[in-house]
Structure formats: structure tokens, C-alpha cells
Structure 1
């Protein structure tokens, strides 16, 4: 495995090398219980110097709802635009004129379908599956996935992450459902990181904001999860800044990979 990159003192060390930042939200700007003011200030300083910031999140809520949540936390004037995995999923549903979906995930995640002509239905009546998280009870999950695969339904997965252990709590995410669906021979479309769809949407927003195309080598992805943020950024030809110290860099780490314990200017 490649050696871990040396930790940077601050984002200012990279400001001249990059024109656009695609920044993760959870784990970088806040952790649900705390906001990280230094991280927001770092993004604001980057913008003040002429840079463009697009937030990119695997959240199951549409971007407009996430923006409201960030403002409520006092996070504002730190980004030019944002995109969520829910935004990508919504576009795919609209583009495919899907009307009946089988939803797997928390009931609160059905905000993804707000204002869409979409109705959650049982799997045997669905045109598509949308998975936003791991179900609280998975007793019937395999039967549901087997039935969906037999019908040839596509599964939209908003968060390809699989699991995380926080203290004594083991959390499971939508990526585990997607893996099980693939095992049944089902087709999965990932609308969140590290998939290309959400990065393509974020790049479109950055280019509209700047009014011109952006060279991928001038784009920096920032996030705290190697498998999602770092792999996604490097895989799309961008630089990657890993926030945190707990995870090692990927084996193909290059001179485009940087790290910082926390995002500061």
C-alpha cells in the first residue's frame, strides 16, 4: 500500500492549485451534534479567493431541504451550490416516467419523493426500487429483493456506504441492500458517491456557477470517508483531500491525494 500522504496545515496550501471544491457535508461541516465553524470558514475563504464550492452529499433528502437544514445550523455563505444523491435519484425517476416505486429505508426518507408524481407501493406493483437505507426489520428483505430481481426491476441506491461502527453501535446502510440485490442478479444504479452520476451533476453545477468548463485536474474532492469521497474523487480524475486520521489511503494513492485531521484554512 502507498504511504499515507503528509498532513497539510490548511486548505490554503491548495488554494492556488484548485479552482473548484466538491465538499462532503456530514463529517466535514457537521456531525449532526456539532457544527465545525473552522471548516465552514475554510470554504468561505476559498470562495473569497475566487474558488467555487459545491457541496456533494449522499443524503436522501433533496438539495433544497438540505440547504434549509444547513442554514438552520448556521452554515451559509460557504458554498455556491449543492447536490444530493436524492436529487440524482429524483431526476432519474422523472426521466424514466416512473410512477410506482417500492421504497426500502426509513419512512422519513420519503421526502425524496416530495412533489413528484410517485407513489410508494408493494414490490409486486412497483416499476422500480429506491433504497435510501437499511430497513429496521429485514425479515422479508431477501424475499423482496428476489421478487424484484425476478421482475427485472432496477434499484436506485442513494448511499452506497455499507456499515459503520460508532462506539458500541453498529450502523447499516443502503449499500448492504444493494450488495444483496446484486447477489440476486439485480441491477443497481448508485446515485451517490463514489458513483459518477452525482459527480457529473456537481461538475455541471460548478461549471454553470463559473460560466465556463473546468479542467478535472483543477477540481478537489473533500470528504471523511475513503471508500466514498476519496475513491470517488480520484476515480473521476480529481484531487482528493481526506479529512480525519482513522482510515488509510487507498492503494492507488497518488500525488493528487492529501489529508488533514480537520478542515481548516
Structure 2
């Protein structure tokens, strides 16, 4: 039987973040924000105006904002997508994308022939940036995956036969988006991370280019220090995100504080009607969950 959280269980209650109406008093404690994009700044279609204003105000006060995203495309493409969704350029300073991390890894490993998985039109910015050739699986040195080829009709299990062949060849798998799912206007779609996770469980080797892995935060930290022309202690960095598995776990791994935004992929688990539910939040932040300083339905100053 599952035990309920109560006043008699202080250890469990301590892990449940308080529900906040305003983030300003927390944001002013920090010099740098590593901010998720999808689910925090926009919903895949339109910008969250309150979140954008909060980041603008933080920057106006001398803070630095690095968008840290598991988007499987180079940062120039992320910037274009932000502009298309009306996210103001003055809300951020720089971008770390999973797409760039994946491209850097491919270059470092010297791969010359890759089998590509993902929508060729939507993720063309990454595929066209590859120096390696795109080849059939039988000729590949590795797999690079940005997502499902058809995320509206396929599931990760549709790729099991291909992964079985890849495993037999001992092909490494470069995951250019560690997210399992993404929320697009209220609908959840599988991401590259769901295929990579299946490959891992089958015994395959995966390089995860993005959150919650340290390469992402190390890159973001280097960018922040370069922009500020100063060392930045990790206790002066705040991670803002909507996903426990990536954003909050990444903050915990890197030794930074985190702020949880419930309007993203955990919305259905945390929201009653239009309000953030304390009871549902307690269920989500059960034993073993990464910590957060507070929780908000949407980011607002």
C-alpha cells in the first residue's frame, strides 16, 4: 500500500516544493539562469508572455540567461524558432542546444558514415550540418537520432527491428534529444530519447547529447562565464525547467538549485482545472525525486 504524505513524514514532505505565485524574490538571489525553453518559455506554438517578461527583468537587473534546450538542431535554428513564437531576443543571452552537442560529439568521434533517424524536413538544420555521410544501417559506423521519423503515427517499439540489427553490429547511438516526450499545444509526442532508452535496455551504447547530462551544463556554464567575464559559482546559478527527469535531475547532478514549472510535460500530473494542486505535486515529488526550491504553474516575476 502506498503511504500518504503527512505531517508525520517530514523527510518526504521536505522534498515537495512550495507553490509560488511570484519568482522574483528567488530569481534575484542568482547571477545566472539556465532556462529550459519548451514548456517554460513557449508551448511549441506561442510564447508565455509572463515567463518572457520575468527573464527580461532578470537580465535588466544584471543577470545572464542561457537557454538550455534538448532541441535536436543547432542553436541558430533554435533562435529562429524562438523568434517565430514571439519570444523576445532580449529575454536571453545565449543558447546551448542538444543538436550542437550531438554535432560536436560526431566530430570528436570522427564518424564518417551515419544512419540518420528523424524527420528530415523538421530537423534538416542538423542533418545538413553533419560532415558524415547519411547511409543505410548496413553501411553505418553509428546512428544519429533526432526523433521519430513520424512522431504522430509511430512509437519507439516500431524501431525495435532496426535496433536489433544495430545491436548485432554494436553500433553506437547518438541521441540528439534525450527527452522522452514533448508537449506540443497540449499533446504529447515521443522524442529521440524514447528510442535511445529502448536501445539502452536492449544493451546498446548511447551518447546522450543534452539534459540531464553534465556536458550540457558544463557548456552552459562556460558560456555564462564568458559573457560575464567572470567566474560564476554554481550556487549563483538557477535552473528553471518543467521536467523532473531532465531539468531538475540535471540541476541536482550539477549542484545547482532548481525551480519547477508545471505548465509543461507534467501538467496533467500536477494541475487541477486551472490551478496547481498541492496534493498532485506531493505525488510527483515522491521519494527519490530531484529537489526544487519552488513550483509554479507558469514562470512569472
Relative to the length of structure 2, the TM-score reads 0.80
| Pairwise CA distance, 1:204 | 1.2
**Is contact 1:231–1:250 with CA below 8 Å preserved after alignment?**
no
| Pairwise CA distance, 1:165 | 7.9
Q: Which residue of 2 aligns with 1:94?
A: 107
Matched, 1:27 2:39: yes
**Change in 2 beyond 3 A, CA 1:152/1:41:** same
Matched, 1:223 2:236: no
Q: Which residue of 2 aligns with 1:39?
A: 51
Q: Which residue of 2 aligns with 1:175?
A: 193
Matched, 1:151 2:163: no
1:115 corresponds, among 115, 129, 139, to: 129
Indicate the larger mover: 20-29 or 90-99. 90-99
Relative to the length of structure 1, the TM-score reads 0.90
Number of equivalences: 265
Indicate the larger mover: 173-182 or 55-64. 173-182
**Is contact 2:17–2:292 with CA below 8 Å preserved after alignment?**
no
Task: Name stretches of at least 5 consecutive residues in structure 1 with no aligned partner.
Answer: none
| Pairwise CA distance, 1:141 | 2.2
Indicate the larger mover: 143-152 or 201-210. 143-152
Indicate the larger mover: 203-212 or 104-113. 104-113
Distance 1:123 1:204 in 2: 36
Distance 2:60 2:108 in 1: 37
Matched, 1:263 2:299: yes
Q: Which residue of 1 aligns with 2:208?
A: 190
| Pairwise CA distance, 1:213 | 2.0
| Pairwise CA distance, 1:169 | 5.5
Q: Which residue of 1 aligns with 2:98?
A: 85
**Is contact 2:43–2:185 with CA below 8 Å preserved after alignment?**
no
Structural RMSD (CA): 2.4
**Is contact 2:119–2:146 with CA below 8 Å preserved after alignment?**
yes
Matched, 1:16 2:34: no
Indicate the larger mover: 22-31 or 247-256. 247-256
Distance 2:159 2:27 in 1: 47
> Could you give the per-residue CA deviations for residues 12-34 of structure 1, whole angstroms, max 9, x where no partner exists?
11133211100011111111222
| Pairwise CA distance, 1:255 | 7.1
Distance 1:262 1:167 in 2: 15
